[in-house]
Amino acid sequence: MGISETNIVVIGAGIGGLAAGALLASEGASVTVLEAQLHAGGCAATFSRKGYRFEAGATVGCGFHAGGPMQELGRELGIVWPVEALPVAWQYRHDALCLDLVRSKADLLKRFPHSRDFWNEQEELSRLLWKLASGGLSWPPASLGDLGKLLRKGVSGLPGTARLLRFATKTAYDWLAAHRLDADQEFVRFIDAQLLISVQTTSRHASAVNAAIALDLPSSGAWRVHGGIGSIAELLAANIERNGGAVLYRKQVVRIDSIRRQIIGVETADGNAYAADMVLADLTPASLSLLVDSFDAATILRSKGPLPEWSAFMLYLGMDAGAVSSTGAGHLQITGSSGNLGEGNSIFVSCSSPHETDRAPEGLLAVTVSTHTRPQPWFAALEQSGDEYTQRKKAYAERVLDLMATQLPGVREAIRFIESATPVTWQRFTGRHRGFVGGYPQTSLFDVRDPSTGFDNMFLVGDSVFPGQSLPGVVTGARRAVELVRRVKRGNA
């Protein structure tokens, strides 16, 4: 039986599930995506409220550069992404420091001239990594064939590959120290702020290789997605349908049925059942484990890979355009005077453009603000009392607005609409157990999760599997799952 006669069920219409589903549908597979919510996109969705279209989580379009994972996916599926390159990827502010992060790194090199060699090395490494990642990454290797593929790519990339191997076991902090940058607190704080939003940890823990590609983001480019970032998921869903597949909403999968190591189908909350030859689960391992028997759940949870640590507290603001447009950047990263990160001490602010009339009423902007937060205290507060949880929500909103106001005076007065979201909200709207979002801390290249689940015909996609979070990250991971599906089908043929 080839791919074209295969009945594939995808659980979840996040970017990972949709990308894998679209690639398989384009090869002729019969793809059915079951999505619990009324819309696609998960953490990269856009939702409507009171005349605004807010980006729920992800706001920065990345990976759309020539040869980047999003550009390659679009070319392969015949999708023209509605994206526009931003002149400034984002602006970083800490007290009086204000840096425009642009392709040339002009501001960065002016403020930190002694970091030039570090950035040269970062560029060299990321060039090699993008090349290794092109067309998908067979990492972690599942077979001798995968190793052979990696070696062939590696040998063709010599002597850069040898250089890369030298970094493989180092932390980003070791790398900074090698350039004598570890003593420059301002520079380390800047790097840590970049790493927290990309690899979900700071330089002391982040793998140097992961850091190299994460720090490349402003250089490889940031894009505004017209209509909000949710347009990416909508286009992928439409592509699946154009290729004969189906994307069904309000279909929460509540059980996965199996016989020994074979999945035979899934059941949804509305009492329907769907037979499946193959299943792709766009879920965190913890969420997937809740849908299978306890013995299989233990296997899923025992698998290799770091555990997620973070969720996000969000503010969705409708604001007068004037209050934020003076920055000249669509995205603003602010770290507070304490120098601490997360929990309202650092925020990422993203504004719709005044030209996007479909995102906000005239003269107003749709603004998404996020800060990293640990999920556990939010659930503890909720378990204690509804009041405790509400008070915590209010306190975080105040903290975030205070920090915003340090760089954007008059911001409070400009607010016309406000809504917040917590790890509890993330759990409800993305089905991610305990609201963990943003992927896993990228601390090692060798301790990562692959798509296997312990079942022969079910694979994980999404930001829990290597190479982790972001649109280009989950698309690269989805290609890996698609490759494994093809391999199983070839084995069964």
Ligand X SMILES: Cc1cc2nc3c(=O)[nH]c(=O)nc-3n(C[C@H](O)[C@H](O)[C@H](O)COP(=O)(O)OP(=O)(O)OC[C@H]3O[C@@H](n4cnc5c(N)ncnc54)[C@H](O)[C@@H]3O)c2cc1C
Q: Nearer to ligand X by C-beta: 42 or 68?
A: 42
Closest among 65, 40, 478 to 227, alpha carbons compared:
40
From the list 13, 164, 329, 349, which residue makes contact with ligand X (rule: CB under 6 A)?
13
**Minimum distance of ligand X from residue 298's CB (angstroms):** 19
Q: Nearer to ligand X by C-beta: 164 or 471?
A: 471
Is residue 21 within 8 Å of 8, Cβ to Cβ?
Answer: yes
Binding residues among 449-478 for ligand X as defined by CB under 6 A: 462-463, 469-471, 474
Q: Is 58 near ligand X (CB under 6 A)?
A: yes
Report how far residue 66's alpha carbon sits from residue 190's, in angstroms, rounded to the nearest whole number. Answer: 27
Cα-Cα end-to-end distance for the chain: 5
From the list 3, 8, 10, 17, which residue makes contact with ligand X (rule: CB under 6 A)?
17
- Those residues whose C-beta lies under 8 Å from the C-beta of residue 158, and which sit 6 or more positions away, are none
Binding residues among 22-51 for ligand X as defined by CB under 6 A: 34-37, 42-44
Outline where 184-293 has alpha helix (H). Answer: 185-198, 208-214, 217-220, 230-242, 285-289
Report how far residue 26's alpha carbon sits from residue 79's, in angstroms, rounded to the nearest whole number. Answer: 12
- Those residues whose C-beta lies under 8 Å from the C-beta of residue 32, and which sit 6 or more positions away, are 7, 8, 9, 10, 245, 246, 248, 274
Q: Is 438 near ligand X (CB under 6 A)?
A: yes
Is residue 457 within 8 Å of 277, Cβ to Cβ?
Answer: yes
**Minimum distance of ligand X from residue 146's CB (angstroms):** 22
**Minimum distance of ligand X from residue 392's CB (angstroms):** 18
Binding residues among 280-319 for ligand X as defined by CB under 6 A: 282-283, 287, 312
Q: Is 332 near ligand X (CB under 6 A)?
A: no
Closest among 400, 396, 461 to 423, alpha carbons compared:
396
Report how far residue 54's alpha carbon sits from residue 418's, in angstroms, rounded to the nearest whole number. Answer: 11
In degrees rounded to 5, what are phi and psi of residue 258? -140, 160
Q: Nearer to ligand X by C-beta: 6 or 37?
A: 37
**Minimum distance of ligand X from residue 331's CB (angstroms):** 8
Q: Nearer to ligand X by C-beta: 181 or 236?
A: 236
Question: Could you tell me where the beta strands, DSSP code E, fall in 269-363?
Answer: 273-275, 278-281, 311-320, 331-335, 346-351
Q: Nearer to ligand X by C-beta: 126 or 287?
A: 287
Report how far residue 445's alpha carbon sits from residue 129's, in angstroms, rounded to the nearest whole number. Answer: 12
Give the x-and-dash track for 60-89 against ligand X (CB under 6 A).
Answer: x-x---------------------------
Report how far residue 401's alpha carbon sits from residue 281's, in angstroms, rounded to the nearest whole number. Answer: 37
Count of positions on this chain that bind ligand X (CB under 6 A): 38
Binding residues among 368-387 for ligand X as defined by CB under 6 A: 370
**Minimum distance of ligand X from residue 274's CB (angstroms):** 11
Q: Nearer to ligand X by C-beta: 17 or 306?
A: 17
Is residue 230 within 8 Å of 10, Cβ to Cβ?
Answer: no
Q: Nearer to ligand X by C-beta: 58 or 193?
A: 58
Give the x-and-dash track for 238-267 against ligand X (CB under 6 A).
Answer: --------------xx--------------
Report how far residue 393's alpha carbon sits from residue 387's, in angstroms, rounded to the nearest whole number. Answer: 10
Count other C-beta atoms under 10 Å from residue 285's C-beta.
22
**Minimum distance of ligand X from residue 60's CB (angstroms):** 3
Place of tokens 């406000």: 418
**Minimum distance of ligand X from residue 184's CB (angstroms):** 27
Count other C-beta atoms under 10 Å from residue 379's C-beta.
17
Q: Nearer to ligand X by C-beta: 324 or 474?
A: 474
Q: Nearer to ligand X by C-beta: 176 or 471?
A: 471
3-state secondary structure of 304: coil
**Minimum distance of ligand X from residue 387's CB (angstroms):** 26
Question: Is there a cis peptide before residue 423, judged by omega within 30 degrees of 0?
Answer: no
Q: Nearer to ligand X by C-beta: 319 or 369?
A: 369
Q: Nearer to ligand X by C-beta: 318 or 462?
A: 462
**Minimum distance of ligand X from residue 147's CB (angstroms):** 27
Place of tokens 């080839």: 2
**Minimum distance of ligand X from residue 312's CB (angstroms):** 4
| Strand duo 46-49 + 52-55: pairing | antiparallel
**Minimum distance of ligand X from residue 136's CB (angstroms):** 16
The token pair that represents 103 in the structure block: 């392709």
Q: Which residues bind ligand X (CB under 6 A)?
A: 11-17, 34-37, 42-44, 57-60, 62, 252-253, 282-283, 287, 312, 370, 430-432, 437-439, 462-463, 469-471, 474
